[in-house]
Amino acid sequence: MRLPDKSRMFKICAIVLAYGSRTDVAQAIQSLQAAEGKIEIVVVQNGLADSELDWLAQAFPFVSFVRNARNCGAAGGRNLALRTETAAKADYFFFLDRDATIEPNAITKLVEAEGMLPDAALLSTLILVRENPAKIHSAGGTIDARTFDEVHYHHAPTRAVMPVDFVVTTAALVSRHVLEQVGLFDERYFAYYEDLDWAHRAKILGFNHYVVRDAIGYHNQERSRFHPLVSYYISRNRLLFLTKHKFLESKFTKRTWEFILQQIGNGLGIIFSLRPPSLTCFVAQLQGVFDYLRGHYGRAPRWTETPTPELWEVRFWIFSTHSQLFNQARKLKRTIRSKGIMLRG
């Protein structure tokens, strides 16, 4: 695998997190194997069974595998890879989701674009939906000024290299020079908002993010946001992101509580459909808010990872979670009183 017509041989470390299906991980590795450039591949075990990782290690002996006993999330898994000896020798780092693939020239296109952009931090491929390549999964995005939610662009960039507020790390490149200045991913997020947080930290330092139109990647159809796991992470991590970067002052300001109540109010309308996914998503949203308030970060509660349950299971979760939240609220109230904290506008 060689970078064609280049006076310098760049060393690129490609990072894949292994969880879910070994078939998806294998396809990601195969697409990197076919890519142009001097690429070293690091695969981090991040929830994949040992037997599945053994199969991958036998099938791809040229890959550096990092064995890991627990799922560290997107942030923690990438940080593990970035601390390896393979990463220590790289000029560039390329993040590829385990259910994504790239065209052979994609990384070359990103490196070439980075060389012309001294302010570039993350450079992303144009990400298409693998099952329907005519559909754009993400061409970068911006932040909704009202809800502070991620808004992804689903139209083709009008320029060959398009500046955007953020890019997802589904198939994205960053140089060592930039990574050393911005730092590693914040592991409190676990998943969702961890790449947005990193992108915002880079923007604060004066860097920008770009989508390279001719660099093509493919991603499986994303998990619907109408899922308790996604509802939990977005609910909790949005609040962490907003207070960390001072969009909201702190947990105990009037504006923060108004925002929280607004988000809960938006979710309340969902439960009147009386469908289990709606109910569990709302409960997961509440759990995310209270975990944020008590400073509980990292991996989501295991029940949120369960596929759509039966209605009786939903009722049990609502009862048990309500009890947990009530106890957490009482502890939070005692904490506020003991520290003499007053809600301020």
Q: Does pLDDT of 4 surpass 90? A: no
Question: What confidence tens digit (pLDDT) does each residue in 30-58 have?
Answer: 999 999 888 999 999 999 999 999 999 99
254-311 pLDDT, tens per residue?
677 677 777 766 665 555 554 555 677 888 888 898 899 889 999 998 888 875 544 4
pLDDT score, position 7: 28
Tell me the CATH number for domain 11-219.
3.90.550.60
Say what the pTM is: 0.85
| pLDDT(2) > 50 | no
pLDDT at 132 over 70: yes
The secondary structure of the chain, three-state, reads CCCCCCCCCCEEEEEEEECCCHHHHHHHHHHHHCCCCEEEEEEEECCCCHHHHHHHHHHCCCCEEECCCCCCHHHHHHHHHHCCHHHHCCCEEEEECCCEEECCCHHHHHHHHHHCCCCEEEEEEEEEECCEEEEEEECCEEECCCCCCEEECCCCCCCCEEEECECCCCEEEEEHHHHHHHCCCCCCCCCCCHHHHHHHHHHHCCCEEEEEEEEEEEECCCCCCCCHHHHHHHHHHHHHHHHHCCCCCCCCEHHHHHHHHHHHHHHHHHHHHCCHHHHHHHHHHHHHHHHHHCCCCCCCCHHHHCCCCCHHHHHHHHHHHHHHHHHHHHHHHHHHHHHCCCCEC
Domain coordinates of the chain in residue numbers? 11-219, 228-339
**For residue 246, what pLDDT is reported?**
84
**pLDDT the model gives residue 258:** 74
Per-residue pLDDT at 318 exceeds 70 = no
What's the average model confidence in pLDDT over 246-257?
71
Residue 310: the pLDDT is 46
Question: What pLDDT, on a 0 to 100 scale, did the predictor assign at position 344?
Answer: 43
